[in-house]
A and B are shown apart, each in its own frame.
Chain A
Amino acid sequence: MYATCRQWREPLHLLARCRHLHAINSTLDTRNASINAVVHPARISPSVREPASLLYDFSVAVKDNICTSSMPTTCSSAILKDFMSPFDATVVKLLQNNGADIIGKTNCDEFGMGSENKYSVYGPVVHPHQPPNSDVPWENRERRSAGGSSGGSAAAVAAGLCRAALATDTGGSTRLPAAYCGVAGFKPSYGIISRWGVVSYADSLDCVGIVTEDVDDAGKLFGVLSAHDPKDPSAARPETRAQASAHCQYHLQQISGADDFSGLRIGIPQEYFPEEMDRSMHAPLRRILDNLMSRGATVLPVSLPSTPYALSAYYVISSAEASSNMARYDGIRYGSYAPPPLGSDKMKTANVYAHTRSQGFGPEVQKRILLGTYALSADAFDNYFLQAQRVRRLIKADFDRVFAVPNVLSSGETPEDGVHVLLHPSAIRTAPPLDEGQNADLGAYVQDVLTVPASLAGLPALSVPAGLGEDGWPVGISVVGQWGCDEMVLNVGRMVEHARSL
């Protein structure tokens, strides 16, 4: 691989650090130009930060659908061209208050809708990776997708433009690009990290995600960002968090530490190996499972029978919520406004809005608005939206039936032979080529098939790099735990990292 900016991790004297930054900035600019990961670099040089603060040596990029008052927040959409938010998201404030250096905003699929980061007004993110056996210059490497929707965040970390990046994850938007880019991508339990200032795509699914090079860093950021925020109405209450944490700690004690993983029970969901999956994804997973087992972990097959319906339910629910959330972009109070053509009847609100919305929203967002609008219409509501909600409850129940840790949000029984976590490939393939034809469209949706169930159930899920696949491109493995078991998921993630390096 290429040089990462490991040296950033060493706390440098501020002055030295600034000089250092200046020196590396130009190389970073060149690198970014080829990747298209950072779309709004921070203009302000790092403020004087407290060296003792928790995130002092963290340079962090922030996905462009998270509000920042000092940089534009455009969600990669023409409709929010040059939009400056009047406030900072809670997560951005937490980063700043804890000494992190925010380096810029990252490219993404428009409003988070996409799996390949090609639906962006800034153009696609180009994967920074180059397979080891390649002999062309890096700039001329094979053009592959970095995944989406947080492609910019994953690529920025993978390319060493920053030590960590904030992403969002509605149906896999953090985990999928992290898997493609060979970095760690963590979607915490729903309701743990504040969504105040995170631009809504589908509120009941949206989570702030964390992208880092390794799981340790993800844990450090998670520790800072998981503070309860009264401004987020869907935030889990402190009592609920404490209850979940107690269950999690109790089970964590059963899993022995450092080199001995005996006590750890891993479930392999049999439905997570669909026929669309590239067979080359199996080997890295098998290698890691072998290593974990050699350290004493127990691996068990489990079944999550509602999984085949998850993708459809996800697209109905997320599109319905998206159609609702996108309604505010009308060009009246902020964002871009396209005047209706001369002579059109401006007495009808719809006529005035239609031009702005047709010009401002890209094709994928328009597609989902239409789908969601239909799903919510009086004729379709019962058969689509309500049906999808039912499937969502079934998916949750599936998970509760396999985990040893009880779900504090529901009141079901836990199985006697339950597992601590689930392990499965994060994606059905390695990063897809960027310039594949139009008919790859349905395939793009299938990429989410392994990530949406955890989103629908609100569970913590972490994609950990598992080495390179047969084609020389990164492969990720996902660790999924019970709601509120974020610590456990991160712990097992570290074990997977450990097992990988054996």
Chain B
Amino acid sequence: MLAHFTHAKPYVLKNKFRLSRLHTLRTKEDSRWPGWDVVIGIEVHAQIKSRTKLFSSTLTSDPHDPPNTHVSPFDAAFPGTLPHLNPKCVELGIRTAIALNSQVQRRSAFDRKHYFYADLPSGYQITQQYAPFAKGGSLKLSKEDVSVRVKQIQLEQDTGKSTFHPRQQFTAIDLNRAGTGLMEIVSEPDMRSPEEAGDYVRTLQSMLRCVGSSDGNMEQGSLRCDVNVSVNQRGSGFGTRCEIKNLNSVRFMMIAITSEIRRQINLLQSGLPVMQETLGFDEARAETYPLRSKEDAPDYRYMPDPNIPPLLLDEVYIADIRQRMPELPAATRTRLQSLGLTSRDIDVLMDVDSGREVGFDGELRPGAVAYFDSVTNDRDPKVVVNWITHELLGQLAFRKETFSDNPMTTEQMGELIDMVQEKKITGTSGKEILRHILTTRTAKPPSELAKELNMLAVSDDNVLERWCSAAISALPQEAEKVHKGNANAVNRLVGYVMKASKGTANAQAVKTALLEMLR
């Protein structure tokens, strides 16, 4: 897409006062480029995680699929074929729009953008140039209190892939990706540093993953960014922007922006103008390089697509999607905070969720937060989150497994926590049972497992006393120290009892008993 946010347009000028105020309020002097302000806008192309393509019933593909195995006559632009809009793509687009607080348009339409390229079989891309399906909106960044406005979201087709083989001097074309649905999410030029740009893309990624509309994987190419950068001296108006195309990792995007900021500042400092250009990024040299100038910009000859009727979305349909929306990351965070969870625990749970695999067609797979919610029910949230983050996730990590491999049901976890809380088993036994479930993947309830494994807590005073006496006889020096008032020395005696009881003794009760006996 061509950039929609040329800074010279009256539309932007209208907002300039508010923008610059917001800008001045926010910008701290950046020690990397003192006296300069940086303005960044980003166009994100996110592949829609639908089972079939945007306008055909061909299954979408994976980058590992053999080339040209997901291609129908329509995808290869055979004569006589016609597009058929996939409603799942529309639904996922609407979910994204709702998540970004964007206004879903009651009427939108599809246009053709023309250019000749081997991976564009029909010679045009179907997109939404004149009437995108969602307008406006914003995304709150995670790090600082910054909100980036969204200009519009449009649905469009992805292209195929062409790979040039220099040795044989030919280009191989793979149409697997051709016609897959994309959401183009266009931001306003609201970011002021490479870090904010990185934060925007990462926050957007987890948002898309949360609502299930895209897996947002930059390395695999399911999320791609075009970045517009301009610089200006503090206090003067926006500078001329340059667009950096096809960045495919957040890290490289930030490096590219930094390098581009320096290039533009260097130009201006030596009295040269910044020319409006489209740039590529050389990852090896960490530099941008010109692709084409403004004069060479192609004329895409946009035309309303005469085959596809306008997309009319009624309120009931949108409301229904809103109803079935998953909880958004910000709301989840607020809710978990109100339950008394620490930021660290919340981060752990939410990181697990943003790393899970995104299902097709918006199918929502329960993640760690849902697991937490389900176990908590009327249990103590802090206790539950400890069991999940420390024990369950810890053990899974130790076993090099992910949360999606977790065999322990929420019922098992709930009962286990209850048994420990009610002192039916000790904490040590609880952890042992958890490990047992992960190893054997048993579906048996923890109560049954505790019995089988002889782990029911021993609270019988006679038995405890017998173990304590044995400990005192076995470690007479420690017993003597305790007797003389060194309370810390009791720990080795407790340890001895715990070992003897195979963890079934309640450590606190043992400690009390030992201190009593040695007083």
Contact = CB atoms under 8 A, between A and B. Distances in A.
Interface of A: 66-67, 73, 75, 80, 83, 85-87, 89, 195-200, 202-204, 230-234, 320-321, 323-324, 326-328, 330, 332-334, 346, 349-350, 353, 373, 376-378, 381, 385
B309 A198 contact: no
Given A234-B307, A330-B116, A349-B116, A80 B76 contact: no
B121 A333 contact: yes
A349 B308 CA distance: 28
B114 A233 contact: no
B104 to A, nearest CB: 21
4 residue pairs, one from A and one from B, having the closest CB atoms:
A327-B123, A204-B306, A376-B301, A203-B306
B79 A67 contact: yes
Interface stretch (B82-90, B333-341, B349-357): B82-90
Contacts of A203: 306-307
B112 A197 contact: no
Given A234-B307, A378-B299, A327 B114 contact: yes
B306 A197 contact: no
Given A233-B308, A373-B301, A376-B301, A85 B82 contact: no
A175 B254 CA distance: 62
A376 B114 contact: yes
Interface residues of B, number: 30
Given A73-B79, A204-B306, A327-B124, 7 more contacts: A196-B82, A230-B84, A233-B307, A328-B121, A328-B123, A333-B121, A376-B302
A199 B122 CA distance: 13
Contacts of B289: none
Given A73-B79, A332-B118, A353-B116, A377 B84 contact: no
B303 A320 contact: yes
B80 A197 contact: yes
Contacts of B81: 196
A324 B124 contact: yes
Contacts of B84: 230-231, 233
B59 interface: no
Interface of B: 73, 76-85, 112, 114, 116-118, 121-124, 169, 173, 299, 301-303, 306-309
Contacts of B303: 320-321, 324, 376, 385
Q: Which of A66, A85, A89 has the most CB of B within 10 A?
A: A85
Nearest to B175: A333
Contacts of B122: 327-328
A233 B121 contact: no
Contact of A349 (B78, B114, B117, B121): B117
Given A327-B122, A333-B121, A86 B78 contact: yes
21 contacts: A67-B79, A75-B79, A86-B73, A87-B73, A89-B80, A198-B80, A200-B80, A203-B307, A231-B82, A233-B82, A320-B303, A324-B112, A324-B123, A327-B114, A327-B116, A327-B124, A328-B77, A330-B123, A332-B121, A377-B299, A381-B302
Contacts of A328: 77, 79, 121-123
Given A327-B116, A349-B117, A378-B299, A233 B80 contact: no
A60 B116 CA distance: 38
Contacts of B302: 376, 381
Contacts of B121: 328, 332-333
A449 to B, nearest CB: 23
Contacts of A377: 299, 301
B118 A349 contact: yes
Nearest to B68: A333
B124 A199 contact: no
Nearest to A205: B306
A327 B125 CA distance: 11
A195 B79 contact: no
A166 to B, nearest CB: 13
A233 B54 CA distance: 13
A324 B114 contact: yes
Contacts of A353: 116
A85 B116 contact: no
A231 B73 CA distance: 13
Contact of B83 (A233, A327, A334): A233
Contacts of A327: 114, 116, 122-124
B256 to A, nearest CB: 24
Contacts of A232: 82
B82 to A, nearest CB: 6
A333 B80 CA distance: 15
B134 to A, nearest CB: 22
Contacts of A333: 76-78, 121
A204 B73 CA distance: 21
Contacts of A332: 118, 121, 173
Contacts of B309: 233-234
Nearest to A206: B306
Contact of A334 (B78, B112, B169, B299): B78
A73 B79 CA distance: 9
Given A231-B84, A333-B121, A85 B79 contact: yes
